[in-house]
Chain A
Amino acid sequence: MSDYLILSGVLFAIGALGVLVRRNALIVFMSIELMLNAVNLAFVSFARQLNDMTGQVIVFFVLVVAAAEVVVGLAIIVNIFRTKETVDIDDIDLLRG
């Protein structure tokens, strides 16, 4: 059972690494999706372990949130690309202090 959980941890770490290292907004975004999936895996594993359907239902909600997030996020990326001609997140530094 721990194998599943550790796999979920590995996937999460890979996702985090992607977010930190990659500069292409699309890939960063996919990395975030990957992290969400890692959490889904953990949820399903726990549902199996505890024999409780709630875990699976929560996965359902995570999917919903992910879908909404992807839609809005991609729209934002497209918008940024239109104005700044780039998807490199290092070029988007309006928040610089």
Chain B
Amino acid sequence: MDLIWLVLALPLLGSLINGLLGRHLPKRLIGWVACGSVGLAFLISLRILFDLLALSPNQRVPPQTLFDWISVSGLSTQISLLVDPLSTLMILVVTGVGFLIHVYSVGYMSHDSDYSRYFSWLNLFTFSMLVLVLADNFLLLFVGWELVGLCSYLLIGFWFTRPSAAAAAKKAFIVNRIGDFGFLIGLFLLFATFGTLDYLKIFEAAAVPHALPELTATVITLLLFAGAVGKSAQIPLYVWLPDAMEGPTPVSALIHAATMVTAGVYMVARSHDLYMLAPFSMNIVAAVGAVTALMAASIALVNNDIKRVLAYSTVSQLGYMFLAAGVGAFSAGMFHLTSHAFMKALLFLAAGSVMHALGGEETDMRKMGGLRKVIPWTWGVFLIGALAMSGIFPLVGFFSKDLILEEAFSNDYVALWLIGLFTALLTAFYMLRAYFLTFHGKPRYDEKAVHPHESPAVMLWPLRGLAALTIIGGILWISWMGFTPLNEFLSPVFAGVAEGGREHTAALSEGALIAISLLVALAGIGIAWLVYIRGFQPGEALRKTFRPFYTLLEGKYYVDELYYSVIVQPGRLLSQFLATVFDLRLLDGLVNGVGALIDRAGGALRRVESGYIRNYAAWVLLGTLGILIYWLMR
């Protein structure tokens, strides 16, 4: 437990070493430093897990203070870490999945000239996320929050020479900033209400009945949720995530699986004590989650870019997590976060492997196909990932997604349950669509120019590891005679959450629910198979009916365009006005005016400096006379 600081220090150290000395180090060493630091952090996290397990459940919340950070009268914040089951789960996910992604990157980035910069930032990203999840107060959480935003900016724009990458990085940063704004105001309000930003103190104070007016709680939680919406890419701020695909693929994997986007879910789960006090906020969270899940999944149906399909899939799955949090099933949300980390990292890395096989940067699925035989390992793991994402038993995705739907149903959110179910259908369809397009059918890439090859072992091993996790991850939530490992582990944290609704109101038994969602997933897979393998062509009438939908989806609901015309354009006009009129005329006028004044004055005074000593002497004498006259006048 005392080693917890090392979990933070190691990635930071790795980042510093690679960042400062990287240019003088051989590539092998850089890779070792980067992977080693995260790997060691993972081992320490494991050790902490066992330390925690050794304690009795209600003792598992010991915060650890590292040092005082800000100490102003009234506001005293320490750099102190909170090690409880929730944060332990998060650091395990972050360091574990992060480690595999680091290893994968060694192979994936091996030809990049900015090797050390890449790994330095990757380590920094891991470090930032660890700060975020280990913080024991909202301020330190916010520091991690912003650091993560910065790192995402750096890494999305890693290939900053491409205009599209630079634009995507900027977009991610700005969109995040909108959410952060709300988050920051939420923090102010928290501090104004409680006089502290410590989790434990706040939750303790909030736990007192009627201590916190519901209105205040609602406002605070909604503001905090605004931050989560930005960071975790929910409606309406999800637009940055698909564009974030401009970064290197392992970075996408890191953003989507281990770090960054899960921060919002984590934050909501962490402040569940507050959310429980604000039913309205809970409903908003659940609704936003469900709608985002549906919308993003529908966009993913028609997208042809393999990475973007995965990105929309992430948005959709994050929607599931918020749905879970919104209906009060926080541990289900955290479980889905974990399982999603496995699946999405697997899928992204497999997609990266496909791109690698096709010689680099090809992401258009229309130019793939028939890769099954050529890159068998990648094929295998991608299939596992796709099936898991679709929710097929016994892969981890089945357990977590089904759990969320079950919770939604049993907590009487039937409408949300239906949305979630329909989304599950879409999910199965688009995942298998991506799979079929990529690996089956005839090769559509240029066979003369491209010779697909399997990735090196250093990239395959992380894939195998993640595939194994995806397969066995389900045991975290298998009930062994009423004992669910993860639920039991997390229960001290979510002790305050009422276990209401469970089982009693269920109109359908648990078994029926499971059967329904399995059937739905299979249906999605079946449709995908029909369309993309059997080449089923829908009839003319059907096509006509769905034409507008298709266009709408292909245009991604035109949200980007909407934002562009509603927000970006007016902003640009305003900036234009400020730049041409306000800045040029007024500000520059002022500055230039001062300059001109000094210039003129200088020009006039210049004549005084004639260079003739006698002239200067005359001035001296004049001055003396002045003093003399002053004396006489006195």
Whether chain A touches chain B in the assembled complex (some CB pair under 8 Å): yes
A residues bordering B, Cβ < 8 Å? 16, 19-21, 23, 28, 89-90, 92-97
Select one of A19, A23, A28, A96 contacting B610, CB under 8 A: A96
Among A92, A94, A97, residue most surrounded by chain B Cβ atoms (within 10 Å): A97
- What 1/0 mask marks residues of chain B from 612 to 623 whose CB sits below 8 Å from any chain A CB? 111001100100
Beta-carbon contact of A93 and B621 below 8 Å: no
- Give the CA-CA distance A92 to B613 in the complex, in Å: 8
The reply to whether A95 and B609 contact each other, CB–CB distance below 8 Å, is yes
Task: Show 17 A/B contacts (Cβ-Cβ < 8 Å), sorted by A.
Answer: A19-B614, A20-B614, A20-B618, A20-B621, A23-B614, A28-B614, A89-B613, A89-B614, A90-B612, A93-B611, A93-B612, A94-B611, A95-B611, A96-B609, A97-B607, A97-B608, A97-B609
Chain B residues near A94 (CB-CB < 8 A): 611
Is B606 close to A, CB under 8 A? yes
Contact mask for chain B residues 479-519; partner A; CB cutoff 8 A; 1 contact, 0 none = 00000000000000000000000000000000000000000
Given known contacts A16-B621, A20-B621, is B606 in contact with A97 (CB within 8 Å)? yes
B621 & A90 in contact (Cβ 8 Å cutoff):
no
**Nearest opposing residue in chain B for A22, CB measure:** B614
Residues of A within 8 A of B609 (CB): 95-97
Q: How far is the CB of A26 from chain B (nearest CB, A)?
A: 13
> What per-residue 1/0 map shows which CB atoms of B580-614 lie under 8 Å from chain A?
00000000000000000000000001111111111
Q: Would you give the shortest CB distance from A31 to chain B, in whole angstroms? A: 10
Q: Are B610 and A93 in contact (CB under 8 A)?
A: yes
The smallest C-beta distance from B515 to any residue of chain A, in angstroms, reads: 96
Known: A16-B621, A90-B612, A97-B611. 4 other contacts (CB 8 A): A21-B614, A93-B611, A93-B612, A95-B611
Taken together as a complex, chains A and B put the C-alpha atoms of A90 and B613 apart, in Å, by 7
In the complex, residue of chain A having the shortest beta-carbon distance to the beta carbon of B607: A97
A92 to B618, alpha carbons, bound, how many Å? 16
A92 to B610: give the CA distance in the assembly, Å.
11
Q: How far is the CB of A33 from chain B (nearest CB, A)?
A: 15
Interfacial chain A residues near B605, Cβ < 8 Å: 97
A54 to chain B, nearest CB (A): 22
Checking B611, B614, B618, B621 against A96 with a beta-carbon cut-off of 8 angstroms, the contacting residue is B611
Give the CA-CA distance A97 to B608 in the complex, in Å: 8
Nearest first, the 9 closest Cβ-Cβ pairs linking A and B are A97-B609, A96-B611, A93-B611, A97-B606, A89-B613, A95-B611, A19-B617, A20-B614, A20-B618
Using Cβ atoms and an 8 Å threshold, which residues of chain A touch B612?
Answer: 89-90, 93
CB distance from B294 to the nearest CB of A (A): 77
**What is the bound-complex CA distance between A94 and B606, given in angstroms?**
14
In the bound complex, CA of A94 to CA of B607 (Å): 14
CB <8 Å contact, A90 and B614:
yes
Which residues from 236 to 263 on chain B have a C-beta closer than 8 Å to any C-beta of chain A? none
> In the assembled complex, which residues on chain A have CB atoms less than 8 Å from the CB atom of B617?
19-20
A97 with B610: CB separation less than 8 A: yes
Q: Nearest A residue to B603 by beta-carbon distance? A: A97
CA–CA, A28 and B617, complex, Å: 11
How far is B615's CA from A89's CA once the two chains are assembled, in angstroms? 11
Within 8 A of A (CB), among B454-496: none
Residues of B within 8 A of A20 (CB): 614, 617-618, 621
Contacts of A28 in B (CB 8 A): 613-614
In the complex, A16 Cα to B606 Cα: how many Å? 25
- With a cutoff of 8 Å between Cβ atoms, the chain B residues found around residue A96 in the complex are 609-611
What chain B residues lie within 8 Å of A93 (beta carbons)?
Answer: 610-612
